[in-house]
Amino acid sequence: MATTPNGTSSEPARPLRILIIGAGIGGLTTALALRQQGHDIQIFESSKLAQETGAAIHLASNANGLLRRMGLDAGKIGGVECVGVTEYIPQTGAVKYQIDTSQMSKMWQHPWHLVHRAHLHTALKDMATGQEGKGQAAKLHVASRVQGVDAEGATLTFEDGTSVSGDFLVGADGVHSRARSSIPGGDKKPFDSGKSAYRFLLPTESLSSDPQTVELVSKIGALVMWIAEDRRLVMYPCVNKTMMNFVAIHPSKESEADITGAGWQEAGSKARMLHIYKDFAPSVLAILEKADESKLKVWQLLDMEQMPSFIHEKLAVIGDAAHPFLPHQGQGGGQAIEDGVALAAVLPFGTKPSEIKDRLQIFEECRYERAHRIQGYTRTAGMDTADLAAKGMKLDMMEYMGYNFGHDAWDHTTKALQKHLEARDKSLRFRNPVEFGVSPGPRRPLGMHPTSAEIHALRKGTPEKSRTYSIRFRTSRTYLQNLLPAGFAFTSPATVASASIICTTLDGMTWLGGGGYSMLGLYIHGINYTKQDGSKFFGTYLPVLFENAADPIITGRDELGMPKLFADIDVKENDGNKSSEISLSWRGTTFGTFTVSGLTPEEPVPNGVNGAQPVQRGPGPPPPPPEAGTFYNRYIPSVGEPGKADVEYPVFIPKPEAAEGTEAPKSFASKTATISLQGKDWQTLPTLHHIADWLAAMPMYGVEEAKLVRSIGVSDSGGARRLD
């Protein structure tokens, strides 16, 4: 479980110092998950951790999957896979219903394990604090009762007056949490839910050797229940099926004489338990008779009002400290595990202390609603049948299970963090499909890439290069005029206009892993656009740009709105820099051929990608203002509404500044060039024939000049902006 470092700050990344209060299932899971993220963890536990809490726990798919991801396989610590549910009628002992979960279990991506609590606890402790495993071992301090929790200063104080500070605190100190009251409005007191539970374990053999109970363990692996009006007994296996775990939930007032305030270690009276279940079938009483009174525990099942929040400043409370659970759905431990893993997911290595508050907000968004919803389901699942009927409520166990089991707290929280990081950085670009996050491509800050060092090395070793052929020619303004959308106009009143065919080949492109591609477009010179506010822009208009690679077509169309189409572009250079032949085709059908010859070197003129500047040609009207960039029209058709655009607007790309590392371009000029454009039928150019026909019909009044410009360092079109 590890995420890549985020951000590009030069501040060296360091582990966060995290202090966890409590070494229960929640605290230890948090320690393990944060350790695997590379942080420096200390756990403070009030007890000596010598006494095991006894009895077993469900690890449903949602919790078990998280443990498996961290390397803890419940099957290897004696966990038994739950393969069925049987409910008996309490008074008669007859079967009420049976569900074979082997079918249902195929719905969940991780098995539903029944595991001894002590085994789970020990495995978590060993993995969090042991020398083996990813990250630095967490330090566990036992017999360290936390007295004071300062959320602002991330400081804990202990009974002996000493204190310790970190970057962040986790309150995993259970239902009677001290940390909870450091959250404004969080000083909640747990209260008796009205139910208590006896818990004990029996060797499976003691049931299988007794004729009264042998049938109950005939199908070990099933969850078995006897549910009466206001009391129930639940039985399931653990410890490689050698032990059976029992939970006997009943009205608290009937066992209150047992309660002394010893919490998890409260001893129960067997005689009282037998009395409470006296109306149950003989097979049930036979089970209860077998309980070892010296190990019988009774717990008041506590509930609590909702906390206003699980977080404050540099503190998060998790598990029972944040949302104590009744046992009716076996999700309390599972939710503590989800909390711990979600905390680790929002704090990948490289998170700075100053970012913790923001990250806790994401944790809260991911956990608050879910933990409370499962608490709500759990309360309903534990209601007496008469109360359910009186309130007109029904139990929908499939809905509950679907919601409880069908979640992965790591995946869910990781996505939430990704969205948060993306929303913060306004330089990030997205294209379809957006589900996978930021799109790689041109116009990305290199540092956002996880392997930016490799990208920089590639850029150094393989410089980005371009060579641009341009043939400027005279043509008909009235013909070209028809291409211009509203708002665009020729600056000169002359009916002879200038246009260029410009073909650029790029090579060594970092964003294409060092590869390249070619593009060829028609650029109409001497165009202006008048914005709705009256301001004017001058430039060339680009009605179509062909490219011979899919990636730049997609990024250029999506991000910049350029009118790009695919075509094969072949550039043949002869005699070094002296002449070349360019062809434009689609699947073997050529519809454009361009030649340039007699090129001779000229003084270097940095002239941008398009290579053409307006010049005064003889007497006549003054030259138009310099062309400051390129115009085009963005058009995105509407889905299911032919002829309608979802968006349509003019775009302007200013002439780019010289790219990083640019050397003075080498420029060559000639007056000798040819342009040959051929119209084709729809069979040979099925998707392009309308454009080829239009280009072929364009009047040609002679070539003005041709050029070749070779450059090192390629600018992108990141300055593109919408005009209106």
Query: 694 to each of 482, 585, 680, how far by Cα in Å?
Result: 11, 15, 10
Q: How far is the CB of 296 from ligand FAD (least distance, A)?
A: 13
- Both tokens assigned to 39: 């942080």
Catalytic residue among 178, 199, 467, 634: 199
- Is 15 among the residues that bind ligand FAD (CB under 6 A)? no
- Is 80 among the residues that bind ligand FAD (CB under 6 A)? no
C-alpha 310/C-alpha 315 separation (Å) is 8
Q: Give the bridge partners for 668, in sequence order.
A: 601, 708
Q: Which is nearer to ligand FAD, 22 or 563 (CB)?
A: 22
C-alpha 611/C-alpha 707 separation (Å) is 8
- Both tokens assigned to 489: 């106009």
Among 16, 19, 20, 25, binds ligand FAD (CB under 6 A): 25
What are the backbone dihedrals phi and psi of residue 271, each rounded to the nearest 5 degrees, phi first? Answer: -60, -40
Between residue 335 and residue 374, which ones bind ligand FAD under the rule CB under 6 A? 336
- Is 118 among the residues that bind ligand FAD (CB under 6 A)? no
Strand runs labelled E in 232-317: 232-238, 243-251, 297-303, 311-312, 315-317
Q: Which is nearer to ligand FAD, 299 or 490 (CB)?
A: 299
- Is 23 among the residues that bind ligand FAD (CB under 6 A)? yes
Stretch that binds ligand FAD, among 101-109, 173-181, 220-228, 610-618 (CB under 6 A): 173-181
What are the backbone dihedrals phi and psi of residue 493, each rounded to the nearest 5 degrees, phi first? Answer: -75, -10
Calculate the dihedral angle through the C-alpha atoms of 75, 79, 83, 87, rounding to the nearest 10 degrees.
Answer: -170
- Name all contacts of 414-421 with Cβ < 8 Å and 24+ positions apart: 414/3, 414/345, 416/346, 416/362, 416/365, 416/366, 417/3, 417/345, 417/346, 417/348, 417/359, 417/362, 420/358, 420/362, 421/6, 421/7
What are the backbone dihedrals phi and psi of residue 501, each rounded to the nearest 5 degrees, phi first? Answer: -95, 125
Q: Which is nearer to ligand FAD, 186 or 327 (CB)?
A: 327
- Is 297 among the residues that bind ligand FAD (CB under 6 A)? no
3-class state of residue 628 by DSSP: coil
Q: How far is the CB of 404 from ligand FAD (least distance, A)?
A: 10
- Is 408 among the residues that bind ligand FAD (CB under 6 A)? no
Catalytic residue among 88, 198, 236, 541: 236
Among 299, 405, 469, 511, binds ligand FAD (CB under 6 A): 299
- Is 334 among the residues that bind ligand FAD (CB under 6 A)? yes
With contact defined as beta carbons under 8 Å apart, do 179 and 322 qualify?
no
What are the backbone dihedrals phi and psi of residue 482, each rounded to the nearest 5 degrees, phi first? Answer: -65, -15
The answer to whether the Cα torsion of 161, 165, 169, 170 is positive or negative is: negative
Task: Give the list of residues 6+ apart from residue 334 with CB closer than 8 angstroms, or none.
Answer: 58, 59, 60, 62, 63, 404
Among 333, 521, 543, 650, binds ligand FAD (CB under 6 A): 333
Tokens 């913790």 map to which residue?
A: 356
- Is 330 among the residues that bind ligand FAD (CB under 6 A)? yes
- For residues 247 to 286, the per-residue mask of contacts with ligand FAD, x marking binding by CB under 6 A and - elsewhere, is x---------------------------------------
Q: How far is the CB of 92 from ligand FAD (least distance, A)?
A: 26
Q: Which is nearer to ligand FAD, 263 or 282 (CB)?
A: 263
Size of the site for ligand FAD (CB under 6 A): 35
- Is 174 among the residues that bind ligand FAD (CB under 6 A)? yes
Q: Which is nearer to ligand FAD, 57 or 509 (CB)?
A: 57
Among 172, 520, 675, 692, binds ligand FAD (CB under 6 A): 172
Q: How far is the CB of 182 from ligand FAD (least distance, A)?
A: 12
- Is 298 among the residues that bind ligand FAD (CB under 6 A)? no
3-class state of residue 194 by DSSP: strand
What are the backbone dihedrals phi and psi of residue 316, each rounded to the nearest 5 degrees, phi first? Answer: -130, 135
Task: Give the type of residue at 153.
Answer: G
Catalytic residue check, 199: yes
Stretch that binds ligand FAD, among 32-40, 252-260, 329-337, 599-607 (CB under 6 A): 329-337
For residues 680-706, one letter each, b for 16 or more C-beta atoms within 10 angstroms of the residue's C-beta and e for the rest, the string is: beeeebeebbebbbbbeebeeeebbbb
Q: Which is nearer to ligand FAD, 246 or 473 (CB)?
A: 246
Residue 123: closest CA among 58, 193, 73: 73
Q: Which is nearer to ligand FAD, 384 or 558 (CB)?
A: 384
- Is 596 among the residues that bind ligand FAD (CB under 6 A)? no
Catalytic residue check, 236: yes
3-class state of residue 278 by DSSP: coil
Q: Which is nearer to ligand FAD, 287 or 675 (CB)?
A: 287
- For residues 194 to 233, the per-residue mask of contacts with ligand FAD, x marking binding by CB under 6 A and - elsewhere, is ---x-x----------------------------------
C-alpha 151/C-alpha 341 separation (Å) is 21
Residue 635: closest CA among 720, 563, 535, 544: 563
Tokens 């818990």 map to which residue?
A: 199
- For residues 307 to 326, the per-residue mask of contacts with ligand FAD, x marking binding by CB under 6 A and - elsewhere, is ------------xxx---x-
- Is 331 among the residues that bind ligand FAD (CB under 6 A)? yes
- Is 332 among the residues that bind ligand FAD (CB under 6 A)? yes
- Is 178 among the residues that bind ligand FAD (CB under 6 A)? yes
With contact defined as beta carbons under 8 Å apart, do 702 and 719 qualify?
no
Q: Which is nearer to ligand FAD, 307 or 502 (CB)?
A: 307
Q: How far is the CB of 93 from ligand FAD (least distance, A)?
A: 24
Q: How far is the CB of 200 from ligand FAD (least distance, A)?
A: 11
Q: Which is nearer to ligand FAD, 334 or 611 (CB)?
A: 334
Residue 598 DSSP class:
-
Between residue 29 and residue 48, which ones bind ligand FAD under the rule CB under 6 A? 44-47
Q: Which is nearer to ligand FAD, 176 or 644 (CB)?
A: 176
- Residues lying near ligand FAD in the complex (CB under 6 A) are found at 21-27, 44-47, 57-58, 145-146, 172-174, 178, 197, 199, 247, 299, 301, 319-321, 325, 327, 330-334, 336
Active site residues per annotation: 199, 236
